[in-house]
Amino acid sequence: MDDLTPTTADLSVELTVDGTTHRVPVDPRTTLLDALRERLGNTSPKKGCDHGQCGSCTVLLDGRRHLTCLALALSFDGAEIATAAGLAGSGVHPVQQAFLSHDGYQCGYCTPGQICSAVGMLDEAAHDRPSHVTDDLAAPTSLEDLTDAEIRERMSGNLCRCGAYVGILDAIREVAGA
């Protein structure tokens, strides 16, 4: 890619998705979301708004929660992606189990994005990343400080039109152990 001749032809990206590495030929206009769904057949991340407003396309990208609809596949050549479908291999991730236990979904469309976002969010809170509702920016953040207000604020990028928020909140609170 360091070749300075602009091109639209013969471009491809390497993506490692849920543990498997793929070489995917793409048109430069292809988003990461479309590469995952349409080229690799991984329909776990969902196309909700396709404009970065709903969070249903959230995955973990190089370990951090990330939208895939506003990401061009070419920009993320070499990325390591975990979708909700591959979070725990063939097993059930603790966040997924908590969503099951607390009815953290209704239709299920936003759920893979909610789960990836929750996993990323818990990791952020455990690693000293404050939020808008964190009172003291100088104090380190931790999972013990995850009040309901903190969880709501940190999950605000994921919408649920069924309104399963109460169950989602219960599920995340349980995993956080706050």
Footprint on this chain of another protein (rule: CB under 8 A): 1-2, 4, 6-8, 11, 27-29, 31, 50-52, 55, 58, 64-67, 69-72, 74-75, 117, 120-121, 124, 128-135, 137-138, 147, 149, 152-158
CB of 156 to another protein, least distance (A): 4
CB of 64 to another protein, least distance (A): 5
- For residues 89 and 135, which CB has a smaller minimum distance to another protein in the complex? 135
Cα-Cα-Cα-Cα torsion 162, 109, 176, 138, nearest 10 degrees, comes to: -90
CB 82 within 8 A of CB 100: no
CB 12 within 8 A of CB 26: yes
Burial of 63 from C-beta contacts in 10 A (0-12 / 13-18 / 19+) = exposed
Q: Provide DSSP, 86-136.
A: GTTTTS--HHHHHHHHTT--SS-SSHHHHHHHHHHHHHHHHTT---TT-S-
- For residues 51 and 89, which CB has a smaller minimum distance to another protein in the complex? 51
CB of 61 to another protein, least distance (A): 8
Whole-angstrom Cα Rg for the chain? 17
CB of 116 to another protein, least distance (A): 9
